């Protein structure tokens, strides 16, 4: 058996710690089914785990991850659409109330797109997938931005593009318009650990100040 020892060790720690503490919750969720209210669409990036960043317990987050947290536009054809299937289940069956598109700094998919990277395989799956963010790139001129600042803009514009694409799903768009589903853009700064949330009015990503920090800030 060459199952990674790291995973066996990790599972052992989970079984002795978190599972032991949350066994009742797991049993209850098994019997009653999951009822998460929040769906997160995030990137595959190993540094940007939604459950870790949001300190989530089992059953709280319905997560779909793909390269560069992209929501492809609605395409009701015969082809397989992973994000659409997750949206269909999350919205249609679980009655998710919030959808968060979580972008992040140092995104390899965005960098590959921005630098027009050479294909990693004959299929060029990343290249073809990343073309979905072309509308975001069109709206993000390089101007005289530094390469790093441009990538940040592109990463954030890609979040907005995914939010726009959510509106191409007719049933979801109706639920959003009625206020039954709320959509949000967020951005995680990998090095700093800072989380920003998109303010739809200004189009800016504004930092979320952790509660503990606020509480700990001297008031005089």
CB of 68 to Zn ion, least distance (A): 5
CB of 70 to Zn ion, least distance (A): 10
CB of 152 to Zn ion, least distance (A): 13
Size of the residue set binding Zn ion (CB under 5 A): 4
113 phi/psi in degrees, rounded to 5: -65, -45
Using CB under 5 A, pick the residue from 45, 61, 157, 198 that binds Zn ion: 45
CB of 45 to Zn ion, least distance (A): 4
Rg (CA), the chain: 19
Cβ neighbourhood burial of 113 (10 Å; 0-12, 13-18, 19+)? buried
Cα–Cα nearest to 39, from 76, 104, 94? 94
Chain centre distance of CA 190? 13
Q: Does 61 bind Zn ion (CB under 5 A)?
A: no
CB under 5 A: which stretch of 6-14, 82-90, 105-113, 136-144 binds Zn ion? 105-113
Nearer to Zn ion, 62 or 188 (CB): 188
Half-sphere exposure of 136 (CA within 13 A, CB side): 27
Nearer to Zn ion, 64 or 107 (CB): 107
Cα–Cα nearest to 132, from 109, 104, 106? 109
Nearer to Zn ion, 45 or 60 (CB): 45
Q: Does 43 bind Zn ion (CB under 5 A)?
A: yes
Which spans in the chain are helix H? 5-16, 18-32, 50-53, 82-87, 108-114, 125-130, 134-138, 147-166, 170-177, 211-216
Binding to Zn ion (CB under 5 A): which residues in 106-165?
107
Nearer to Zn ion, 60 or 155 (CB): 155
**Would you tell me which residues interact with Zn ion (CB under 5 A)?**
43, 45, 68, 107
């Amino acid at each position: 058996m060459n199952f990674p020892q790291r995973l066996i060790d990790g599972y052992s720690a989970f079984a002795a710690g978190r599972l032991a503490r949350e066994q009742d919750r797991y049993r209850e969720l098994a019997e009653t089914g999951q009822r998460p209210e929040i769906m997160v669409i995030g990137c595959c990036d190993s540094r940007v785990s939604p459950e870790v960043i949001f300190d989530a317990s089992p059953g709280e987050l319905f997560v779909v991850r793909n390269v560069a947290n992209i929501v492809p536009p609605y395409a009701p054809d015969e082809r397989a659409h992973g994000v659409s299937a997750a949206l269909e289940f999350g919205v249609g069956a679980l009655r998710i109330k919030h959808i968060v598109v979580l972008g992040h700094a140092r995104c390899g998919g965005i960098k590959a797109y921005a630098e027009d990277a050479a294909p990693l395989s004959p299929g060029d799956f990343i290249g073809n997938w990343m073309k979905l963010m072309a509308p975001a790139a069109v709206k993000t001129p390089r101007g005289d931005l530094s390469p790093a600042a441009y990538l940040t803009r592109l990463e954030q514009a890609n979040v907005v593009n995914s939010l726009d694409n959510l509106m191409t799903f007719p049933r979801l768009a109706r639920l959003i318009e009625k206020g039954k589903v709320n959509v949000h853009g967020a951005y995680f700064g990998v090095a700093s650990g800072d989380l920003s949330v998109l303010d739809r009015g200004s189009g800016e990503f504004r930092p979320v100040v952790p509660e503990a920090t606020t509480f700990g800030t001297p008031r005089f």
